[in-house]
Every structure is written in structure tokens, then in C-alpha cells.
């Protein structure tokens, strides 16, 4: 549901780059986002299109790539992925959305995984998030 | 390519009327209490005010305000709970009692997200409860706030623990990162004993103030009843004298050009 605020963030960042580079338009934009953000791509895409209307970004082609999340325990060396622990996230701390849905806080702030997960093998909280969080603009093709 | 989340965090901060960072050289001087009281006073004076808890390892805002309800989210992101007209946000609302083991760039990313996806609406005043000291969190917070002209800091200290070198280190860190400092808040400064002011821990000395080029914006009384009020869920009723000093502090901050 916060796809709209993320779309705003992307548009603001792109607008800034285009101004810096003196670009007329951006023909192609590639966005990489972490699996832990559990984004609804349809909404993100729609929001990007809506927010680009009437700006130099109108008509840009947006492509998306999801980066799978992976974790490694510093205590026992075990590795795991997001799906294996998704069911174990503490439900009492979920965030409610207007459509009646509920999301883990990790969906809004992926780095909170560090507080809401433990190693499924040994229970340690001392683990590394190797990949799968955040959102970045990986590539943009500008037309000057 | 610039980080869109950090960019969004900064553009939100630039829209705030005024931003007050409440910082301290070390823990235990009542920084969170000062930040919370200041924010509450600001809201009660009619400023549209938010309180952001950036102390991710020891968030105090949930406990001080006794909020343990469920967070809501809307189209614009996380909706800050409102108490007495004051909007609150803290990572503590989302992690409960779980410890947050987080390091390095992850911490920076968390702070950027927290700022970027909170839907504050229009605010006249954002009060930020900073992490204590001059560690990673403080440096990361300052990185997010770099170049935000509306921001300034107040430094909370006590006369007893004015280990001056600790405060001086914080002052040089803030100034080095381009953060302006509104002044000092002297917490636990005195007891009002039937109109007579007793200063059991002494006073901040003038030489120190001259050396750091700062003034004291407010001296706060020792008020043991505040801890009691927090435990009983009555923090919102600030003791009268404490409240008047908070008014002075707010005036001091809002008067800065
Ligand atoms: Zn393990």
C-alpha cells in the first residue's frame, strides 16, 4: 500500500538526475527491489505512470527486478530465505492497512528484519541480511 | 544513481517548518524526556508538531506515551499515532520488545526508510529524539539531515554529569557536520524549595559556556514525579513549573532566525 510513496521517491530521484544531466527524457528505467518489501508491482507501476503524467518522465518504460532475500547466521552458519521464515514473523506487531489487510513492518522498513527474525536453526539474532531489502534505480537511459 | 529513499527522506524534512534535534553527549541525562515534553508543549501551543524517535536501540517514545496499539498505514505510508494533538513515530512501535541488532549501513537504511515513509502531513515543528553520544546512529542521522536548513540542535546535559569533554565532542561533531546548535538545556538543575532554588549538583560554569559559544536555553527542575507519571500513564500532564520552563525552551527555539 505504500507503493505510492515509493513511486514518489523514484520520480523525485529521477527528476533530479535528469536535471543534473540536462536530459530531455528517460526512455528506460530499471528498478531493483528487495523481496522483503513484498511490493505489489501493479500498484507501483500504475503509481509511477500516474505521477509521471505531464512530466519529462511521461512515457518512460519502467522495468522491475526482484532481488531474492537471503540470510546467514553468524552463530551457526545456517543460511535461509525469506519464505522459510515469513510465517514466523510476530503477528502482534503487524501494521493495518485501509483495505483491511495487515502487513509485517518489514514490508515498510526491510531493515527491521533484524529485530523481527531469528535464525530458524539456532534461534540467534546475530545474522546478516545478505540481500533482498531496499529499492534502487539500477539503470536509466537518458535522452539528451 | 542517488538513493531514492534517502532523497525522499530529505525532501520530506525540507518541508518542515522547523526541526529540533534533541541530542546529548551520553545517555541518562533525560534527553528523551526533554524531547517528549518539548514536543508536547509545542503541540499544545498550536504548532502542528511531530515527535520522531531516532534512538533505534533504546526507543523511549513508546514507553513515555504509553502507546502500544497497532500502527496504521495509508496511501502515503505509515500514519503516526496522534496523542494530545502530537504525532508520534518510533521504530519501537514496530519492534515491540525485540532487541534490534543492527549495524553500519543497515542502520542508515532503516533511518532513511523511517523518515521517508512516515506520512507526517504538513508540520510546523518536528522534534527528533536523537540517539545519545557520537556513535554510528548519530553520524547517520546527521547524514540524513545534512543540508536541511530548517534543522538545529539542542544539547541536553546535567550540571553533575557535565563531563565537559563529552559535550564538547558532541558539539564539534554537530558543527563539523554543518548542524547549527540552538543552545543547551540544563536538566536536573535545581529543586524549588518553597521559592528557594537549591542547586544540589552545582551549575554549568561560565567558562565552559564561553568556550563552546553557547547559551543555556532552559534550566529544568528536578521532578521525580515525572517518572511516576510515566509509569501511571499520566505523562501528558506536565508539572506546572516544568511546563513553564518548556515554554521558555520552545520560545528560545522558535525565536531563532
Ligand atoms: Zn543460527
Question: Where does CATH 3.30.2320.50 sit in chain A?
Answer: 2-68+132-143
Out of A9, A90, A140, closest to residue B116 by CB: A9
What residues flank ion ligand 1 with Cβ within 5 A? A 73, 75-76, 78, 119, 121-122, 124
Which chain A residues are within 8 Å of B70, Cβ to Cβ? 94-96
The string of pLDDT tens digits covering residues A22-53 is 999 999 999 999 999 999 999 999 999 999 99
Kindly give the distance from the C-alpha atom of residue A21 to the centroid of ligand 1, in angstroms, as a whole number: 47
The string of pLDDT tens digits covering residues A56-115 is 999 999 999 999 999 999 999 999 999 888 888 888 888 998 888 888 999 999 999 999
Q: What is the ipTM of this complex?
A: 0.92
B68 reaches A (C-beta below 8 A): no
Measured CA to CA in angstroms, residue B29 lies from A111, A143, B140, B201, B232 at distances of 29, 55, 22, 13, 21
- In this prediction, residue B161 carries a pLDDT of 60
Give the containing element (helix H, strand E) for B198. Answer: strand B196-198
Q: Chain A: give the shortest CA distance to residue B10, in Å.
A: 10
HSE-up of residue B58 (Cα within 13 Å, Cβ side): 10
- In this prediction, residue A1 carries a pLDDT of 56
Scan for cell 529485530, then name that residue: A115
For chain B (257 residues), the mean pLDDT of every run of 10, in chain order, is 89 93 90 96 97 90 89 91 96 90 86 93 96 85 85 91 80 93 92 85 86 92 86 87 94 89
B165 reaches A (C-beta below 8 A): no
- In this prediction, residue B162 carries a pLDDT of 61
Which of B151, B155, B132, B166 lies closest to B216 in space, CA to CA? B155
B104 reaches A (C-beta below 8 A): no
Scan for cell 540536462, then name that residue: A22
At residue B31, what are phi and psi to the nearest 5 degrees? -60, -50
* Helices assigned H by DSSP within chain B: 4-14, 31-44, 61-65, 92-95, 104-116, 136-145, 164-176, 206-212, 225-231, 240-254
**CB atoms A94 and B70 under 8 Å:** yes
Domain A2-68+132-143 has CATH 3.50.30.50: no
Mutate to test the interface with A, among B59, B73, B81, B89 (most CBs of A within 10 A): B73
Give the mean model confidence (pLDDT) for residues A119-135: 93
**CB atoms A109 and B7 under 8 Å:** no
DSSP state of B118: B
The string of pLDDT tens digits covering residues A1-22 is 588 999 999 999 999 999 999 9
- In this prediction, residue A92 carries a pLDDT of 82
Amino acid at each position: 500500500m505504500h507503493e505510492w510513496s515509493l513511486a514518489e521517491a523514484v520520480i523525485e530521484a529521477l527528476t533530479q538526475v535528469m536535471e543534473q544531466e540536462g536530459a530531455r527524457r528517460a526512455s528506460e528505467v530499471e528498478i531493483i527491489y528487495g523481496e522483503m518489501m513484498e511490493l505489489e508491482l501493479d500498484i507501483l507501476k500504475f503509481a509511477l505512470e500516474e505521477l509521471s503524467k505531464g512530466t519529462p518522465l511521461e512515457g518512460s518504460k519502467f522495468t522491475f527486478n526482484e532481488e531474492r532475500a537471503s540470510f546467514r547466521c553468524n552463530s551457526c552458519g545456517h543460511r535461509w530465505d525469506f519464505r522459510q521464515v515469513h510465517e514466523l514473523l510476530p503477528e502482534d506487531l503487524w501494521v493495518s492497512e485501509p483495505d483491511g489487510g495487515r502487513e509485517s513492518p518489514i514490508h515498510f522498513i526491510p531493515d527491521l528484519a533484524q529485530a523481527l527474525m531469528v535464525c530458524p536453526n539456532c534461534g540467534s539474532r546475530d545474522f546478516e541480511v545478505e540481500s533482498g531489502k531496499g529499492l534502487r534505480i539500477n539503470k536509466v537511459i537518458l535522452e539528451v | 544513481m542517488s538513493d531514492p529513499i534517502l532523497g525522499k527522506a530529505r525532501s520530506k524534512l525540507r518541508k518542515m517548518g522547523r526541526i529540533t534535534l534533541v541530542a546529548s553527549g551520553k545517555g541518562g541525562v533525560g534527553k528523551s524526556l526533554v524531547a517528549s515534553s518539548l514536543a508536547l508543549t509545542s503541540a499544545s501551543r498550536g504548532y502542528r508538531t511531530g515527535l520522531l524517535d531516532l534512538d533505534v536501540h533504546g526507543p523511549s517514545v513508546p514507553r513515555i506515551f504509553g502507546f502500544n496499539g497497532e500502527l496504521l498505514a495509508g496511501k502515503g505510508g505509515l500514519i503516526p499515532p496522534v496523542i494530545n494533538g502530537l504525532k508520534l513515530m518510533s521504530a519501537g512501535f514496530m519492534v515491540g520488545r525485540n532487541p534490534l541488532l543492527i549495524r553500519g549501513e543497515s542502520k542508515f537504511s532503516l533511518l532513511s526508510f523511517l523518515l521517508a515513509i512516515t506520512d507526517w502531513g504538513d508540520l510546523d515543528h518536528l522534534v527528533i529524539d536523537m540517539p545519545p553520544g557520537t556513535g554510528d546512529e548519530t553520524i547517520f542521522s546527521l547524514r540524513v539531515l545534512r543540508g536541511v536548513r530548517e534543522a538545529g540542535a539542542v544539547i541536553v546535559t546535567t550540571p553533575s554529569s557535565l563531563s565537559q569533554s563529552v559535550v564538547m565532542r558532541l558539539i564539534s561533531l554537530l558543527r563539523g557536520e554543518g548542524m547549527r546548535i540552538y543552545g543547551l538545556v540544563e536538566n536536573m538543575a535545581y529543586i524549588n524549595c518553597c521559592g528557594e532554588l537549591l542547586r544540589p549538583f552545582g551549575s554549568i560554569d561560565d567558562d565552559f559556556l564561553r568556550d563552546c559559544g553557547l547559551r543555556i536555553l532552559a534550566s529544568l527542575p528536578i521532578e521525580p514525579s515525572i517518572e511516576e507519571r510515566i509509569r501511571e500513564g499520566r505523562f501528558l500532564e506536565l508539572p506546572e513549573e516544568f511546563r513553564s520552563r518548556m515554554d521558555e525552551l520552545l520560545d528560545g527555539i522558535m525565536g531563532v532566525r
